[in-house]
Amino acid sequence: QVQLVESGGGLVQAGGSLRLSCAASGRTFNTLTMGWFRQAPGREREFVAAISWAGRNSNYADSAKGRFSISRDNAKNTVYLQMNSLKLDDTALYYCAADDGVIPKAAPTYDFWGQGTQVTVSS
């Protein structure tokens, strides 16, 4: 079992930046593919970004490309999502997810999920 705890969410003005963190425990972190997803009210959960266990491969949603960056520190059992140039449409509950597979996939079929951290972008 893997426990995931997200942090770093909050209220930010459009154009601003936030860095989300996700601390993992319960399993050897460097065997897990990690991902970030988000869900806005009334909308389905959608993929944001994912990174392979060694950090060599990453995958981004079109909406995140050029603005968001996913990274991981295996020594700290933590994955990050740096979000820049935030837009109103980025407002959502952001979830961290972990998977036993090796592909940083976009499908929301990850094995383990955190509780989420709220990101609210204001005008």
In the predicted structure, residue 27 carries a pLDDT above the cut 90: no
CA distances from 97 to 20, 77, 93, 122 (A): 13, 13, 13, 26
Q: In sequence order, which residues have a C-beta less than 8 Å from that of residue 62 and are 6 or more positions away?
A: none
Predicted local confidence at residue 98, as pLDDT: 97
Cα separation, 16 vs 52, in Å, equals 27
The arithmetic mean of pLDDT across residues 60-88, rounded, is 97
The arithmetic mean of pLDDT across residues 49-66, rounded, is 96
Q: In sequence order, which residues have a C-beta less than 8 Å from that of residue 85 and are 6 or more positions away?
A: 15, 17, 67
